[in-house]
Amino acid sequence: MPDFLVLTVIADDKPGIVEQLSTVIADHGGNWLESRMAQMAGKFAGILRISIDGAQKSKLVAALSSLDSSGLQVRVETPSAEKDTLATHSLTLSVVGNDRPGIVREVSQALARIGVNVLELSTQCEPAEMSAVPLFRSEISASIPDSLDHDDVREVLEALSDDLMVELH
């Protein structure tokens, strides 16, 4: 039975980072299962999950650590066992509003307060079409308790500000 590892990766962005990482993983018998990676502000960042034979695990971890000398910082974690939790279902939220400091904190606090678990978060700021006022946009993939109504989620978020618009999918 394979072991699973979760890796976080950060480096100055340049061609070949994914190739370098995937080569080390493949050379040690690892299997790349899933990942999310992006370039932002000149940095490359990613998170990935791999499987590896237990006998090869320590050699792979050592090889990944040695990538630090080439500017690629890799942190290796062992995933925790799945917990039994309340019944939940998935929900995608789109949140749009005038940008301001603390908006991500406000949204995340409101969601946590009602038991919503953020699974994936993507944010950006861009000028509004007509006024060029900075506009905050967020896409959130979340797990919400079955006991929570979608309208309750919308109301909690829209109560944060008069200019906040929320779409649920």
* CA 67 vs CA 28, 50, 100: distances in Å: 14, 17, 38
> In degrees rounded to 5, what are phi and psi of residue 21?
-65, -45
pLDDT digits (tens, 9 = 90+) for 22-79: 999 999 999 999 999 999 999 999 999 999 999 999 999 999 999 999 999 999 999 9
CATH architecture of the domain with range 88-168: 2-Layer Sandwich (3.30)
Q: Hey, where are the domains in the chain?
A: 3-77, 88-168
| The domains spanning 3-77 and 88-168 adopt the same CATH topology | yes
Which residues lie below 8 Å from residue 9, measured CB to CB, with a gap of 6+? 17, 21, 37, 44, 45, 46, 47, 48, 72, 73, 74, 75
pTM of the model: 0.82
CATH topology of domain 3-77: Alpha-Beta Plaits (3.30.70)
Q: What percent of the chain has pLDDT over 70?
A: 97
DSSP string, 24-73: HHHHTT-EEEEEEEEEETTEEEEEEEEEE-TTTHHHHHHHHHHGGGGT-E
pLDDT digits (tens, 9 = 90+) for 75-94: 999 998 766 566 889 999 99
